[in-house]
Structure 1
Amino acid sequence: MYVLVVGAGEVGKMIASNLEDSHDVAMVDRDPDIVDDLTYTYDVLAIEGDGTDLEVLHEAGLEKADLVVACTDNDETNIVVCGTVKTDSDAFTIARVRNRTLLDTWQGSQGGFGVNFMVCTDLLVAQTIFRISGFPQAQDVEMFAGGLIRMAEFEIDAESPLVDQRVSEADEYDSMTFAGVFRGDEMIVARGETVFCAGDRIVVIGSPESVKAFALDAVSDTTSPTEDVVIVGGSEIGFQAAREFEAHGFEPRLIEREHDRAREIAEALPDTFVMENDATDREFLAREHIDEADIVVAALDSDEKNLLVSLLAQRVGVDRTVAIIENTQYTDLFETVGIDVAINPREETAEEIIRFTRTNQTEKIAMLEHDRAEVIEVELGEDSALTGRPIAESMDDLPDCVVIGAISRGGDLITPRGTTEPQPGDHVVLFVDATVLDEVSAVL
């Protein structure tokens, strides 16, 4: 596939890094310094110029492009890029936007503006925050097969009953599969003899009920669901997160320091209790019983402020903290100092875009630990190596670092076993080491 990316910011670079080994990639950016850096850092064709200029797009190989991704930091520019592409190409176009109003307008126009698919970064992040809030201590949560299947990543501490247990001993959940273990810099495919250690980050795949039961039994010492949600910051992400919680019947609290923005949010979100104050004021936090919150989401306008608010929330006794970070280099730092979950909007966006470069059968992907492994959902065809054969037999055609986590058939969840025979049309969710993804895709 020939992929043309306009905009070489963090999202564009993540896409290039992921695709350079398996696809032909061209990148367009206005900044000559960035273009020089691309040339020496990535195996891509780097073009300096304006991505809304048809001549520049042709210089970057528009005539042979299968996919064009517009991911500059300007929403309107990205839409214009896609419209320009459609004047002279049938390439599939993706526009990244932050403004949800543009997404709503595009959806109402049934795919207008020359955009085949639109990714709204702030909405994606809000949905991620909501998913994570429903699973105690989860580092990451994704839905597959229309919500029938969950993937979750949990970190276990020294007090977990899983420590020193083998997978075969811990595998007591009828509709859940242990998929992988991240231990420091090592990625381990979960096998029956794999022994869990304190500090491991465990990936499981199965029904929402089984994954939640596992979280309560083996990861968290609390049985109470998330009810009291506090969002710090009336940024667009904070606003969309509150809106997402409202849509699912919650009444979140939102702290916003700026008067006009606080009033605007209060008028737009009737079920959100908006407090106009500084979230670093400890007297205010005590007075409003922020320490009783089940989760605090830091969605301010800088990574440093989000780190400060998260640490302060922990200091006053909040059970769980989620922080938005724009700089991917801070992710490990945030988690090292004790922030429970750090979410990077650019990673969420890149993940959503990259699935369009997979095989036609790929329905969804989730990248784990900065793409050291992926969980993918694939619809099986007649020619798949998995179709019509017992899993124990068909796994001989796949690399060792692959786990079949779950199967959806006609809306029913099937927990895979060695004797299970996947059928054409089944949706199969697999855990795959990112280094063998192309090899696995070829046989699926």
Structure 2
Amino acid sequence: MYVVIVGAGEVGSSIARSLSDNHEVAVIDIDGERVESLMYDADILGVEGDGADLDTLAEAGIEKADVLIASTDDDETNIVTCGTAMTIADAFTISRVKSAKFLRTWQQSRRAFGVDHMVATNLLTAENIARVIGLPGARDVETFVNGMVQMAEFEIQGSSPIADQTVAEADRYESLTFAAVLRDDDVIIPRGETVIRADDDIVVIGSPESVRTFAAAIAPDSNATQNVVVIGGSDVGYHTASLLQDRGIKPRLVEHDHDRARELAEELEGTTVLESDATDREFLEREHIADADAVVAALDSDEKNLLVALLAKRLGAQRTVSVVNAGEYVDLFEAVGVDVAVNPREATAEEITRFTREYDAEKVAIIESDRAEVLEIEVTEESVLAGRPIRESIQEFPSGVVVGAISRGGELVIPRGDTVVQRDDHVVVFVDAECLDTVSDML
């Protein structure tokens, strides 16, 4: 596949690095230094210029491109780029936008703007936050097979009942599979004797009910998330509150600007909007922030988000989730005490990368910035899995593969060694990134 990416910022560069190992990639950016730096990092063609310009697109080989990804930080530029490309090529066009208004217009008339697929960064970020909030203790959550299967990643605290237990001791759930242990830089495929340590991240796959039960078991002090405070009426904050409303949660949203607070109060009927400065400790204490199950910091400043999240945590909030616009700060936020840091650019890059990989899979979830993937595939006769017990077929895969769940005729099948996978089954598989190419061909 030949892919042209317009924009060599954090999003475009991440996509280019992810795709360059298996596809031909060309990247366009008006900043020559960015292009040159990316060419040193990845095996790509770099073109300096305006991606909305026909001559620049032609220089990047748009006429032979299978996919065009417009990923600059400007919504209008991305849309115009897709519209320009479709006048001279048959490439499938993907546009990144921040504002959901463009997404709404596009959804009402597919192929509007000359865009085949649109990813709205702020809405996507809010969806990630809402999923994580809905599952106590989770760092990442994805669903498969139309919601029948759930994948979740949890950090194991020292106080967790399963810390220092073996997987065999911890695995007490009929419809749950321990898919991986992420320890430092290692991806460990768990066996019965594998010991779960404090600070490990555990990836589990199973029915939503079993995943929720597991979440409650590993963090028994966590409450069902109902008391949520969203700090900041930014676009991300608005969408987060709206999504939480849709899920039966009545959040409080704190916004400092008077006009914006009134606007939000009119649009979010199921949300209590408070006009105040969320960095005011006395205000937070009056609003009983200590009783909050989760506090979401969604201000337009990373520094303020960090301050608010740490202040809320210090005052007793059970869990904090912060938006971090600078990708290099994500690890820092979590290191100093923020429970979950969500980077909109990283989330967008993963979503676009995931979409480009779904030619051979029904759905793809990327774990820890490409350390591993969880794939949903429909089994064909050519698959190594077809017509064989899992114990037999798994021996042909390289180390780093776990069959996490099977859907057959709308029913969930719990995978065991003697389970025979059938043609047309939907199988959810965890795959270490190091063996992804080999495994994808075999599946």
**Distance across 1 between alignment mates of 2:346 and 2:390:** 33
**Distance across 1 between alignment mates of 2:42 and 2:220:** 42
Q: CA deviation at 1:381?
A: 1.9
Q: Partner of 1:433 in structure 2? A: 432
Mean Cα displacement is larger for which, 84-93 or 295-304? 84-93
State yes or no: 1:187 paired with 2:187: yes
Q: CA deviation at 1:40?
A: 2.0
Letter in 1 for 2:80: V
Q: Partner of 1:265 in structure 2? A: 264
Q: CA deviation at 1:233?
A: 0.6
State yes or no: 1:163 paired with 2:163: yes
SS at match of 2:249: coil
Mean Cα displacement is larger for which, 376-385 or 277-286? 376-385
Q: Partner of 1:290 in structure 2? A: 289
Q: Partner of 1:410 in structure 2? A: 409
**Distance across 2 between alignment mates of 1:359 and 1:226:** 32
Shift in alpha-carbon separation, 1:296–1:359, aligned structure 2, 3 A: closer
Query: Contact between 1:137 and 1:220, CA under 8 Å: does it hold in 2?
Result: no
Matches within 5 A, 1:38-187: 38-187=38-187
In structure 1, stretches of 5+ residues that fail to align are none
**Distance across 2 between alignment mates of 1:269 and 1:185:** 42
Query: Contact between 2:166 and 2:195, CA under 8 Å: does it hold in 1?
Result: yes
Query: Contact between 1:155 and 1:219, CA under 8 Å: does it hold in 2?
Result: no
Over residues 244-291 of structure 1, what are the superposed CA-to-partner deviations in whole Å (9 max), with x where a residue is unaligned?
Answer: 111222221101111111111111111111111110111111111122
Mean Cα displacement is larger for which, 434-443 or 31-40? 31-40
Q: CA deviation at 1:185?
A: 2.1
Query: Contact between 2:404 and 2:430, CA under 8 Å: does it hold in 1?
Result: yes
Q: Partner of 1:322 in structure 2? A: 321
Over residues 5-37 of structure 1, what are the superposed CA-to-partner deviations in whole Å (9 max), with x where a residue is unaligned?
Answer: 011111101101111211111000111221222
Q: Partner of 1:374 in structure 2? A: 373
**Distance across 2 between alignment mates of 1:344 and 1:156:** 22
Query: Contact between 1:291 and 1:318, CA under 8 Å: does it hold in 2?
Result: yes
Letter in 1 for 2:129: I
**Distance across 2 between alignment mates of 1:434 and 1:308:** 35
Letter in 1 for 2:259: D
State yes or no: 1:227 paired with 2:226: yes
**Distance across 2 between alignment mates of 1:265 and 1:324:** 19
**Distance across 1 between alignment mates of 2:340 and 2:383:** 37
Q: Partner of 2:391 in structure 1? A: 392
**Distance across 2 between alignment mates of 1:234 and 1:252:** 12
Structure 1 runs of 4+ with >3 Å offset = none
State yes or no: 1:208 paired with 2:208: yes
Letter in 1 for 2:273: V
Q: CA deviation at 1:404?
A: 0.8
Q: CA deviation at 1:167?
A: 1.3
Q: Partner of 1:19 in structure 2? A: 19
Letter in 2 for 1:312: L
SS at match of 2:114: coil
Query: Contact between 1:352 and 1:365, CA under 8 Å: does it hold in 2?
Result: no
Over residues 305-344 of structure 1, what are the superposed CA-to-partner deviations in whole Å (9 max), with x where a residue is unaligned?
Answer: 1111000001111000000111121111111111111111
**Distance across 2 between alignment mates of 1:311 and 1:86:** 47
Q: Partner of 1:364 in structure 2? A: 363
**Distance across 1 between alignment mates of 2:141 and 2:373:** 13
Mean Cα displacement is larger for which, 351-360 or 409-418? 351-360
State yes or no: 1:347 paired with 2:346: yes
Q: CA deviation at 1:168?
A: 1.9
Query: Contact between 2:350 and 2:369, CA under 8 Å: does it hold in 1?
Result: no
Query: Contact between 1:407 and 1:429, CA under 8 Å: does it hold in 2?
Result: yes
Letter in 2 for 1:289: H
Q: CA deviation at 1:359?
A: 5.6
Q: Partner of 2:247 in structure 1? A: 248
SS at match of 1:423: coil
**Distance across 1 between alignment mates of 2:191 and 2:441:** 24
Query: Contact between 2:265 and 2:272, CA under 8 Å: does it hold in 1?
Result: yes
SS at match of 1:3: strand
State yes or no: 1:6 paired with 2:6: yes
**Distance across 2 between alignment mates of 1:290 and 1:52:** 48
Letter in 2 for 1:219: A
Over residues 150-189 of structure 1, what are the superposed CA-to-partner deviations in whole Å (9 max), with x where a residue is unaligned?
Answer: 1111111222221222212222111100010111222211
Query: Contact between 1:154 and 1:219, CA under 8 Å: does it hold in 2?
Result: no
Over residues 388-433 of structure 1, what are the superposed CA-to-partner deviations in whole Å (9 max), with x where a residue is unaligned?
Answer: 1111111122111111111122322111111112222222111111
TM-score (norm 1): 0.97
**Distance across 1 between alignment mates of 2:121 and 2:189:** 31
Query: Contact between 1:374 and 1:431, CA under 8 Å: does it hold in 2?
Result: yes
Q: CA deviation at 1:362?
A: 1.1
**Distance across 1 between alignment mates of 2:416 and 2:297:** 41
Letter in 2 for 1:280: T
Identity over aligned pairs, percent: 58
Q: CA deviation at 1:356?
A: 3.2
Query: Contact between 2:354 and 2:366, CA under 8 Å: does it hold in 1?
Result: no
SS at match of 1:225: coil
Q: CA deviation at 1:369?
A: 2.0
Query: Contact between 2:155 and 2:199, CA under 8 Å: does it hold in 1?
Result: yes
**Distance across 1 between alignment mates of 2:127 and 2:29:** 30
SS at match of 1:147: coil
Root-mean-square deviation (Å) = 1.3
Letter in 2 for 1:388: G
Over residues 55-74 of structure 1, what are the superposed CA-to-partner deviations in whole Å (9 max), with x where a residue is unaligned?
Answer: 21111011221111011111
